[in-house]
Structure formats: structure tokens, C-alpha cells
Amino acid sequence: MSTDCKGAPSTNYTLQELLVAAAAREIKDNEVVFVGVGIPCLGAFVAKFTHAPNVVLVVESGCIGSMPYRLMLGIGDNACNENAIAATSLWRAFSDQQRGYFDLGMLGGAQVDKYGNLNSTAIFGKGDYKHPVTRLPGSGGANDIASSAKRTLLMMNQQKRRFLDKVDYITSPGYLDGPGAREKYGYTGNGPSVIISNMAIFRFDEMTKEAYLDSVHPGVTVDDVKKEVSWDLKVSPNVKVTPPPTEEEVEIIHILDEKKIYTGKGLKELTFESYIGMLEKSYTTLKSMFPA
């Protein structure tokens, strides 16, 4: 890839691609990052291929230090092992997580509240835990990551029914009910540092532990964001406009996710043949651009 596109802002991108780029920029070089499948892993790969080449990516299945040239659809994909330092076990990955070895965990969910608590267990509606409107996949490793990582990055599409004053169920702890709660319950991790949506970026007040609006994406207004939040959202006095992704970031996203599995319509229009073709093309292109 030509180095002259590094840093040049793209003029042709989607809000989903901006979300990926914004997540990538939260990752610092030389950090150890626990990545999940979906937008989080795509953001982590973009960071690895741009400003954070020495970041150590860890996948739940136990792959440590992966540098995949292909998009992962699951934690057991062969791509997880590409150029990995080690291929160990799920038990070992989470054991190291609980020891405090991970700088950043990247998480998503169905609901998030003003204290950064995530719900990926059930949507109650007029029901309750035993009789929910929707039963969701559950925690997986998300609770462990939220409890133990030095900081967590939360990602989800923004809708009022998903950004709540209080989630229906706390699958993964943020700041629970406010200051001092994590310390009270003995969590070793420091909690969430940022929520990135397809509309805005939220950070957390150090005193109240409540999320506030820090940045709106290009073309989005503060009022637009407020309409899609269920609590009385605080707004930074210096609210910013999120920088657009660079041409390089968009190019890498397009190479890895050519069929827009994570940045578009998902698996709806994907065939086995087109998926394999995407993986082969991505592998060849990225290996030539970023040799191990």
C-alpha cells in the first residue's frame, strides 16, 4: 500500500466504516487486546495494519498474537491462527485475562446503559428473566472481559431502545450503579472507557461514572444523538466531530470485509463460493502489503 494515503481523510465511507475506524484508534501500540468476532475484530485488524503494528491480539479460543490476513467469522476459524505467537486453550486465555494481563477488551451487546453495563442475555419487555420477549445468546466470555480487563471498549448501533437508563439484565458489568460499585464487588478491571456507536462516541465522567457525549460523527447532530438515548444525556462543553476514516483505513476494511459481512447486510447475500473467494483475495492482497 502506498504510504501517501496514510492520514489522508476518506471522502467515501459509511457510518459503519467510521465506527470501525473509531474503534481502531482507541487501540494503542504494544497493548494486549482481547477481541471478539464482528465489528470489534475488524477494528482491531485495522489498528494492527496501521498505527499499532505491535499490538497483541488474543481470541477467545486461545490464539495469542494473531495477525490474520482474512476475516474471522468465528473464534474457531483457521484465520485466528495466522501468524499467531501461540495457539493455546480457552482456559489459558481467560486465566491470563483474570490475572490482569489484558489492556483492552472490545465488547458489544443488545443494550447498554448510562453506566456502561451491557445486556446480551434477554430483553424483558413486559416480561421478566424467566419469560422474556427475546432470549439472547448470553455472556460467553464477555462478563470475564468486562470484569478483568484494564479497560473496555463498547460498540453497538445506536437506537433509543438499546441505549437505556438501565439495562434489563447486566450480563457484563460497567460501573453498575455508579461510583465505587466496581470496587465494592471486587472487580479487578477498571471498567469501560468509551462507547462507540454508528452515530457518536461517548466517554465516562471520572466522578459520576456516567456516559456523556464526547463526539458526533460527520453529518450527525447532538439532537440526533439525544433522540436515540433513553436517559438525560450529558454533553461535553467541547463536543467534537469525529474525524473521518483515512483512505488507508477504508481500503483495509474493504479488503477484509469485501462482502460487507460486518459493515453491511451481514450473511444475507453471502454464498459459500463468494465467501471463500473473499478470503483468498484478502489473504493474497494483505500478505503482499503486510508480510509477517
Q: Which residues are catalytic?
A: 60
Asked if residue 234 lies in contact with residue 226, where contact means CB atoms within 8 angstroms, the answer is no
Task: Return all residues near 124 (Cβ < 8 A) that are at least 6 apart.
Answer: 132, 133, 168, 169
- CA angle in degrees (0–180, nearest 5) for 271-274-280: 140
CA atoms of 90 and 99, how far apart (whole Å): 14
- CA angle in degrees (0–180, nearest 5) for 238-263-253: 85
CA atoms of 9 and 16, how far apart (whole Å): 16
Task: Say what the alpha-carbon torsion angle 7, 82, 262, 267 is, to the nearest 10 degrees.
Answer: 150
